[in-house]
Amino acid sequence: MADKSGVFKIWLVGMANPTSFNYNCYGEGTMYAIGMKLKTMFNQICQHDASKFASADYSWDPGTPADTDVVVYVCGTKERGSIIKSKSGKPIHDSASGGTYPYTGGMISEVYLREIDGAANFSTVAANIIFHEIMHNKLDAPTEKTVFDIHSLGGGGLASPVVSAGTALTDKNIALMAGALSKKVKQYTAEMQKALL
């Protein structure tokens, strides 16, 4: 434990200006709740022996990610604001609520929150969907794979193809992610300033 250091950071992009949204669930309180859920999960992962990081944090503000950080584009819909779609990209997991695409310009992970509009425990569902895409981002989408397919080899729970508010973070989810946090996966950062709708 003593040799753990540094902060693993999750950069959330989009909806940074909630005033451009008419949906109540996309306000600053929800953005904070989503970020804190992710921070709590990743802090738990950092405590695992395989993690070199001491702790985790998140940001909804633009910045410069470290080479081990992850970036997730939080879109309203896949049809509008989707970066993967604009690249004619074929995501590794093309679900209704999110996708991750190993683009030549960097790994793109994104989620589509309109899909879960009005869901009970909205921020928890959103955080779990974001976590699932981060698993793809670090584990099975990069050239250097930790597992070939998280859906079958990721330990169930949040690695499952469909996640909900009640989906658990399993011990294997934690172990796999702890070992992959320090993996350098180049992220797509070119549109971190983009307003996503």
Cα–Cα nearest to 108, from 89, 127, 81, 121: 89
* 3-state SS class at 61: coil
- In this chain, which stretch among 57-65, 89-97, 137-145, 181-189 interacts with Zn ion, using CB under 5 A? 89-97
Distance, in Å, from the CA atom of 64 to the CA atom of 190, rounded to the nearest integer, reads 11
Q: Which two tokens stand for residue 60?
A: 């909804």
Q: Tell me which residue has its CB nearest to Zn ion.
A: 93
Q: Counting contacts by CB under 5 A, is residue 138 touching Zn ion?
A: no
Q: Cβ 28 to Zn ion, closest distance in Å?
A: 28
Q: Which of 139, 141, 138, 132 is nearest to 69 (CA)?
A: 138
For strand 106-112 and strand 70-75, is the pairing parallel, antiparallel, or unpaired? parallel
The reply to whether 93 sits near Zn ion by the rule CB under 5 A is yes
Provide CB contacts within 8 A for 22, sequence distance 6+: none
Distance from C-alpha of 120 to C-alpha of 165, rounded to nearest angstrom: 8
Chain position carrying tokens 């729970």: 157
Residue nearer to Zn ion on the CB measure, 39 or 93 = 93
Q: How far is the CB of 55 from Zn ion (least distance, A)?
A: 26
CB of 97 to Zn ion, least distance (A): 9
Return the number of the residue (34 or 130) whose C-beta is nearest Zn ion. 130
Rounded to the nearest whole angstrom, what is the least distance from the CB of residue 4 to Zn ion in the complex?
A: 29
From 5-13, 22-30, 90-98, 103-111, give the range in contact with Zn ion by CB under 5 A: 90-98
Which residue, 93 or 138, has its beta carbon nearer to Zn ion? 93
Nearest CB to Zn ion, comparing residues 34 and 135: 135
- The whole-angstrom separation of Cα 133 and Cα 48 is 20
Q: Which stretch binds Zn ion (CB under 5 A): 37-45, 73-81, 85-93, 178-186?
A: 85-93
Q: Which residues bind Zn ion (CB under 5 A)?
A: 93
